[in-house]
Amino acid sequence: MLFSSIPFLYYFLPMVLIAYYLAPKSVKNMVLLIASLVFYGWGEPTYVILMLISIGTGYLFGILIEKFRETVWSKICLIVSVTISLGFLVYFKYANFFITNFNKVTGSSLKILNVVLPIGISFYTFQIVSYIIDVYRNQVKAQRNPITLATYITMFPQLIAGPIVRYSDVERQLVKRSISFEKISYGIRRFCFGLGKKILIANVLGEYCAVFKATDEKSIIFYWTYAIAVSLQIYFDFSGYSDMAIGLGSMLGFEFIENFNYPFISKSATEFWRRWHMSLGTWFRDYVYIPLGGSRCSKKRLILNIFVVWMLTGFWHGAEWNFIVWGLYFGILLVLEKSFLLKWLEKYKIIGHLYILIFGIMSFIIFDAISMEGAISHIGVMFGVTDISLMTYITRYYLKSYLIVFIIAIIGATPVPKILIKKLMKNKIGNIIIKISEPIVMAILLLVITGYLVDGSFNPFLYFRF
């Protein structure tokens, strides 16, 4: 089930919220757990069993790690638990990738496994692993109540698309949380804006990208605008789902961490990754980069650490070479910045903005590519390597058709709208206008979105690969 679907918006969510609000505090977690399992099992009920096994092993080994603390058995339990969790992830997500590449290198003909990638397995696996490691580090206490731990891992708002919520961030909220009119109001507003970003911006930009891929009459401008469109599509899709997750969490009384902070206003790749998918970046920092030695080591080891982390970051996004190259691409930029480039970029901020916009856009061509040959060819055309027209009638036609969405997306990818609204709210009359108009705008937005969904408009789910 997807957030951006009629069954979720008009059947599942209202019924869950009614049951949740009416339930006594003592059984709210049980209501949320059942709802989350129904949500996850809607499209693939078989993999609910896999998730429950993963949760069960995490629960058991968390208790054993705490029981055997200060002994070698605690570390053994940690290794076994992490191995089981990552083993499931590797088997379902990466086994066929390894088999395919092994066959290519050796000329073997090993059969591809008949497995389907469970949606959200990367997200809930990382949550279980972080919980187990934090228990081992004595940063959190092992959860004795299996319902509470299962509720944390399966919580449907962040189950299939993030953010990656750590147990330590919601430990207290799982036991004691408050539901207020302000939280519900904020949650509805945040959810509706996230849904609007997904349906009215990301999906429409996705249509433009689909048109580009389908037509043979391309131009240099068409290649550039596609690159911009796919970058913005991925951003608004990812950040839109994060907004919806945060909004849903607020409706349920939870406070989830922010996951995106206007990454396209960055002045370096270092800053970009402090603003893009922040929960993933901090996860790799705390559970991979720092344990490897972080930056407190020799220069050679630092470079190795960066490349290991960014190779894994890319690989986390999908079992294809383009994702690995995408991760290593950012690894190269980060190494260059740590070596000498960052000081120069911070000194000349305008150049820094242009640098990350150009290199960021090129990175998403790699991210979206079917093959590396296609990505390299695309980038070459953008910079005039191939002799094609600068502009064609087809390019002009589609640019005019999608121009308004491009403008909205570019402005919306900056904090300008947020700053303007905050300034308006400081004015007494402006504050009144916003408070009166907000529910009307939300209702109109939801009505328009519903129209798009009923019409069966372009509505891809980018997280199938994750």
Which residue stretches of 252-277 are H helix? 269-275
Cβ atoms within 10 Å of 427's Cβ, excluding its own: 11
Catalytic residue among 277, 317, 353, 378: 317
Q: Does the N-terminal peptide bond of residue 146 adopt cis geometry, omega within 30 degrees of 0? A: no
Contact 372, 325 (CB under 8 A): yes
DSSP-derived secondary structure letter, 305: H
Cβ atoms within 10 Å of 63's Cβ, excluding its own: 17
Distance CA 40, CA 2 (A): 10
Q: Which residues contact 453 (CB under 8 A, 6 or more apart)?
A: 4, 5, 6, 9, 199, 459
Q: Single out the residue of 77, 244, 279 nearest to residue 170, CA to CA.
A: 279
Contact 249, 218 (CB under 8 A): no
Distance CA 423, CA 439 (A): 20
Contact 222, 392 (CB under 8 A): yes
Catalytic-residue membership of 277: no
Q: 408: which 2 tokens?
A: 């909205």
Cβ atoms within 10 Å of 32's Cβ, excluding its own: 26
Q: Single out the residue of 176, 174, 192 nearest to residue 184, CA to CA.
A: 192
Q: Single out the residue of 31, 37, 32, 33 nearest to residue 1, CA to CA.
A: 37
Cβ atoms within 10 Å of 165's Cβ, excluding its own: 27
284, amino acid identity: F
Q: Single out the residue of 177, 347, 317, 314 nearest to residue 252, CA to CA.
A: 177
Distance CA 258, CA 393 (A): 42
Q: 194: which 2 tokens?
A: 């996230």
The catalytic site residues sit at 317
